Structure 1
Amino acid sequence: MQFLAYILVYPILWVISKLSFRLLYLISDGVYLLVYYIIGYRKHIVTDNLKLVFPEKPEKEIIIIRKKFYKHLCDMFLEMAKTMSISEAQLRKRFVIKNPEEFKRLEGLNKSIIVIFGHYASWEWTIVLKNHISFKTFGVYKKLANKYFDNLIRTIRSRFDTTLISTKETIATINKFEEAGVRTLTGFLSDQSPRHTKDAYWQKFMGIDVPCFTGAERLAKKLDFSTAYLKVTKKKRGHYEAEIITLAEDSRTFKDYDLTKLFLQQLEKQIYEVPEYYFWTHKRWKHRKNNQQG
C-alpha cells in the first residue's frame, strides 16, 4: 500500500518540478481554491490556533490571515516539489543569505554550529546553507512512516550536499564527527509540539504555556557548540531571505533553557509581524495549561 501511494504520487511531483515558476504559481492558485474552499484542509485547526494566540483580533482579520496562510501553504508545497529539479543557481537566487559573513565568523571560532529555526516562511530551501560554509552540514528531521516517501524526502533535501538525519540518529552522528575532528553545522526545526511528559520543559510561546523541545540547546551545551537562529523572511512570492542571528558563541555559559527562550522570542517576533507565514496547520498548542487562553 505504501509503494502504491508512492508510485501514484511521485510522477505528479516530478512533472510539477519541471514546470516554470510562472506556471507553478498558476497551479498553486488553483490548488488554493480547492484546498481552502472545497476540501477545507485542517481549516478548523488553523482557525482555532489563530483565535487562541490572537484573541484580540476580530473575526474579519482572522479570516484574512487564514486565507493568506493557505495561499502561502499551497505555494510552499509546490516549491517543495520544485526542489526535486531546481538548479543550484535558481535556488541561490530565490533563497538569499543576507549576512553570509556571519557564518564565516562563526566558522572561524573552530566550533561546530547548531542552527535553530521554526516552521516559518520556507524551511525546505534552507538546504542552500551548505553553499555558505565549509562544515559538514546536517538537517534533523522526523522520519516518515512511508519508507518510500521518506527516502524521497531524504533525496530531495540532500541534493546540495546537506545530509538528513533522523531525530534518533542525531546524537550518535554528531558525536562521531566531533570525535573525528570534523566540524559540523546542524539545523533543527524546534517549534513542534513534543510529547506531554512530567519532565517536559514549559515556556510561553505566543502567550501560551506549552511544552517545548530542548534537544538543540542540550546538544549545543553538552558539546559547547555555537548556537544561531535562522531568521527566514518571505520577500515576495517564491523569494526568501535568511539572516543568521548568533544566539551564543559559547553555549555552555548560558543557563539551562535560556537558548530555547531566545529562539522562541525570535520566532514570536516574526509571527506577530507577519502571521500568515507561520505553519498554522500544526497542532502546536494541543498541550497547554488548563484554562489558558492568550
Structure 2
Amino acid sequence: MQFLVYILVYPLLWMVSKLPFRLLYLLSDGLYLLLYYVVGYRKKVVTENLKLVFPQKTDQEITAIKKKFYKHLCDMFLEMAKTMTISEKELEKRFKITNPKELKRLEKLNKSIILIFGHYASWEWSIVLQNYINFKGFAVYKKLANKHFDKLVRDIRSKYSTTLISTKETIHTITQNELTGTKSITGFLSDQSPRLSKEVYWSTFMGIKAPCFTGAERLAKKLDFSTAYLKVNKVKRGYYEAEIITLAEDSRIYKDYELTDLFLREVEKQIYEAPEYYFWTHKRWKHRV
C-alpha cells in the first residue's frame, strides 16, 4: 500500500516541481481556496493557537492573520515540491544568506556548530547553506512512516551534500563525527512541543509556559560546539533571506537551558513582527500551565 500511494503521488509532485514559478503560485492560490474555504485543514487548531498567543487581537485581526498564514502554507508546500528540480543557481537567488562571513568566522573557531531553526518562514530551502561552509552538513528530521516518501525527502534535502539524520540517529552520528575529527554543522528544528516526561524543561514561549526541546543545547554543551540561530525572513513570495545569529561561541559556559531560552526569544521576535509566517498548524501549546 505504501508503494502504491507513492507511485500515485510522486508523478504529481514531479510535475508540480517542473512548473515555472508564475504557474506554481497560481496553483498555490487555488490550493489556498481549497484548503481554507473547503477542506478547512486544521483551522480549529490554528484559530485556537492564534487566540491563545494574541488574546488582545479581535476576531477580525485573527482571521486576517489566519488567511495570510494559509496562503504562506500553500506556497511553502509547493516550494518544497519545487526543490525536486530547482537549479542550484535559482535556489541561491531565492534563499540568500545575508551574512555568510559569520559562518566562516564560526568555522575558524574549529568547533562543530549546532544551528537551531524555528518553524518560521521557510526551512526547506536552507539546504543551500552547505554552499557557504566547508563543514559537513547534517539536518535532524522525524522519519516518515512511508519508507518511499522518507527516501524521497532524504534525496531532496541531500541535493547539496547535506545529510538527513533521524532523531534516533542524532547522538550517535554527531558523536562519531567528533571521534573521527569530522567537523559538522547540524540543523535542529527546536520550537515544537516535545513528549512530556519528568525531565522536560518548561519555559515561557509567546507568553505561555510550555515544555520545550533542549536536545540541541545539551549536545552543544556536552560536545563543546558553537550554537547559532538561523533567522529566516520572507522578503516576498518565493524569496527568503537568512541571517546567522551566534548564540554562543562556547556553549559550555552558559547555564542549563539558557541557550534554549535565547533561541525561543529570537523566534518570538519574528512571530510578533509577522505572525503569518509561523507554523500555526502544530499543536505547540497542547501542554501548558
TM-score by length of 1: 0.98
In structure 1, what is the equivalent of residue 137 of structure 2? 137
Please give the per-residue CA displacement for 1:81-122, whole angstroms capped at 9, x wherever unaligned.
000000100000000000000000000000000000110000
1:257: Cα distance to partner? 0.2
Please give the per-residue CA displacement for 1:107-154, whole angstroms capped at 9, x wherever unaligned.
000000000011000010010100000000000001111111111110
Percent sequence identity over aligned pairs: 75
In structure 2, what is the equivalent of residue 107 of structure 1? 107
In structure 1, what is the equivalent of residue 276 of structure 2? 276
Is 1:33 the counterpart of 2:10 in the alignment?
Answer: no
Q: Name the CA distance, whole Å, in 1 between partners of 2:3 and 2:284.
A: 30
Aligned counterparts, 1:159-174, within 5 A: 159-174=159-174
Aligned counterparts, 1:1-294, within 5 A: 1-289=1-289
Q: Name the CA distance, whole Å, in 2 between partners of 1:194 and 1:181.
A: 31
Q: Name the CA distance, whole Å, in 2 between partners of 1:281 and 1:145.
A: 20
Q: Name the CA distance, whole Å, in 1 between partners of 2:199 and 2:243.
A: 33
1:182: Cα distance to partner? 1.1
Give the SS at the match of 1:139: strand
Q: Name the CA distance, whole Å, in 2 between partners of 1:107 and 1:193.
A: 31
1:255: Cα distance to partner? 0.4
Stretches of structure 2 that go unaligned for 5 or more consecutive residues are: none
The one-letter amino acid paired with 2:277 is Y
1:192: Cα distance to partner? 1.4
Q: Name the CA distance, whole Å, in 1 between partners of 2:229 and 2:7.
A: 37
Give the SS at the match of 1:143: coil
The one-letter amino acid paired with 2:4 is L
Give the SS at the match of 1:107: helix
Q: Name the CA distance, whole Å, in 1 between partners of 2:5 and 2:213.
A: 32
Q: Name the CA distance, whole Å, in 2 between partners of 1:196 and 1:60.
A: 34
1:52: Cα distance to partner? 0.3
TM-score by length of 2: 0.99
Worse overlay, 189-198 or 83-92: 189-198
Stretches of structure 1 that go unaligned for 5 or more consecutive residues are: 290-294
The one-letter amino acid paired with 2:117 is F
Q: How many residues align?
A: 289
Q: Name the CA distance, whole Å, in 1 between partners of 2:125 and 2:210.
A: 28
1:198: Cα distance to partner? 1.9
1:4: Cα distance to partner? 1.3
1:2: Cα distance to partner? 1.2
